[in-house]
Chain A
Amino acid sequence: MTTNVKASALRAGVNRGLIEFRQSWTNVDDALGQVIFMLLFLGTVFFMRNAQLPGTSVSLGATTVPGILGAGIVFNGLQGAAGYLTIDREDGTLLRAKATPNGMLGYLVGKIVSLSLGQVISVLVVLIPCQFLFPALAPDGVWSYLHFAWVLAIGMVASMPIGAAIGSLISNPRSVGLVVLPIMGLGAISGIFYPITALPVWVQDIAQVFPMYWLGLGMRAALLPDSAVAIEIAQSWRTLPTLGVLVAWSVLGLALAPVLLRRMARRESGSSVAARRERAMQRVG
């Protein structure tokens, strides 16, 4: 009975994830947001295509692509999970899930499915056109793509649970901006747009605590020719440390998220949703 019930909730969760994923592409506002971001990015690297990375023969545009992919995974993972959670809490979606048998399980599975699909698709829609623009990308063919796949996978696990944990601590959707700003800041110091070795060592040290730098590095290791390693710290791709740091963040996220999510879910009730609605109405008025 119990396994049947859980299996049924898992299937319902997958169904939920697919519906939400479809909505993110059929809903005009959401889809437009994604397309505009993509066009801006592709436009930027297009104009960078003939610039060279200082001291090497590697195209500056080509080196920016993997960095952006890595940063995008962190950004979407944190901001996506945190943002959805706070919005769903404010508008009553989470309470609805709580009022449904095994609804919380279904809700979480649904979010994991829709966010993961969203991540994979948004990475691919950037990578595929860039592959035509910069033939130097993914020089080792299948091996490059396998490397890319595991960095992508561990990157999602390292970022989404942390995002969910942060989201369960924020009760006001407008405060998600407070999360976005530090991530933007990390983007500036993590060697995404420019080699990290050009920055002071103490800044490099800070950047190396967080997953964004390592995801950028992991993506560059997967997709760039070996000569590009010249601009990295210690002139090495540091594959094992990359894996180690990202696994550490995953463990931290997976340990924190269930505890914080449970605490948040316990506090949901009709009157807490109503109270947030009152506050939101006051902001509107």
Chain B
Amino acid sequence: MRDPGEVAVAVSGLRMRYGANDVLHGVDFQAGRGEVVCLLGPNGAGKTTTIEILEGFRMRSAGEVRVLGTDPAHGGEDWRARLGVVLQSWRDHGKWRVRELLAHLGRYYEPYSTEAVARPWDPDELIEAVGLTEHAGRKIKTLSGGQRRRLDVAIGIVGRPELLFLDEPTAGFDPEARREFHDLVHRLADDRTTVLLTTHDLDEAEKLADRILILNGGRIIADGSADELSRRIAGEAEVRWTVGGSRFVHSTTEATKFVHELFKQYGEAVGDLEVRRASLEDTYMTLVRRAETDGETELGLIEAGAR
């Protein structure tokens, strides 16, 4: 359930500098309670740095950051208990068994249980929710890549977090596991969990996210739902038609007007008319390419246009 009135994450003027190298140049965005926000961007755009600052794992150089009302640079253990972090894992706790580890990690959340939210998540229910029931007794190092990733997600949500960070959660999933994972994220969002995820899978972003942020070169170059992005920013639709047996293709930002002109000119001679709005992938590629070729002023304009 979205409730943008209640802010879970607020970032303004976030800057990060390593030595003489600026990685983030003033990032601004907000995420409401229960919102699923997806951070997209090419490698090196600053996604991981941004997420790590929000998680409290990295100190920022400048800017205002509030995560669940607290500055992550000074977030205590009580604050930590309200977050869930799904890391890009490797092979930790390989000798532990699935259920054993989830039950153990759950213990740390016991003192944070409230009337409204019972913490931690019951290990057996949690294992079922991520589809690992038949592997509950297995040693973690014997799990496949996809099973391991599901366990990572389970660890991230064992404390029933208010805010969940997912860093490329479905890398290595087969289509079915991916579908199940998407259902799980929707269920979490229904329970008013805010989800902030990074991914390279544009299809996934389109399916999951209420809102998409595109980060490039240390700046947010677009902010909106997948629909809004394709309409407002790229705005280019592809119009295909035939006249007298010849095929034509034209890209335009004003498809309706163009089609109207087309009919005025040729009337009934126009055949096989097709208008295709840009997919998220087209939008993304256009935006990133534009941001990379154009200068800073142009970037500012695009950003303003996104609002």
Interface, chain A (partner B; CB < 8 A): 1, 4-5, 8-9, 11-12, 15-16, 19, 23, 27, 88, 91-93, 95-96, 98-103, 106, 268-271, 273-274, 277
Contacts and interface: CB of A to CB of B under 8 A. Distances in A.
Interface stretch (B106-114, B203-211, B219-227, B267-275): B106-114
Given A96-B155, A100-B80, A269 B58 contact: yes
Chain B residues touching A, majority SS = mixed
A274 B85 CA distance: 15
Interface string B43-80: 00000110110010110000000000000000001101
A23 B140 CA distance: 13
A6 to B, nearest CB: 9
A37 B146 CA distance: 38
Contact of B108 (A23, A27, A92, A102): A102
A12 B85 contact: no
A180 B164 CA distance: 42
A98 B93 contact: no
A91 B91 CA distance: 6
Nearest to A269: B57
Given A96-B87, A270-B167, A271-B52, A103 B92 contact: no
A106 B96 contact: no
B80 to A, nearest CB: 4
Nearest to A98: B57
A96 to B, nearest CB: 6
Given A102-B108, A273-B90, 14 more contacts: A5-B112, A12-B107, A19-B96, A19-B100, A91-B91, A92-B89, A92-B91, A93-B93, A95-B57, A100-B105, A101-B108, A270-B51, A270-B87, A273-B88
A101 B55 CA distance: 13
B81 A268 contact: no
Contacts of A93: 92-93
B143 to A, nearest CB: 14
B55 to A, nearest CB: 7
B104 interface: yes
A15 B107 contact: yes
Given A88-B92, A92-B90, A99-B80, A15 B104 contact: yes
B87 A8 contact: no
A271 B48 CA distance: 7
Contacts of B95: 23, 27
Nearest to B83: A99
A87 to B, nearest CB: 10
A99 B83 CA distance: 8
A9 B106 CA distance: 11
B52 A269 contact: yes
A201 B78 CA distance: 57
Contacts of A5: 77-78, 111-112
Nearest to A271: B48
A92 B57 CA distance: 13
Contact of B78 (A12, A19, A101): A101
B108 A91 contact: no
Given A16-B104, A106-B108, A99 B90 contact: no
B217 interface: no
Which of A4, A12, A268 is most buried by chain B, counting CB atoms within 10 A of its CB?
Answer: A12
B68 to A, nearest CB: 13
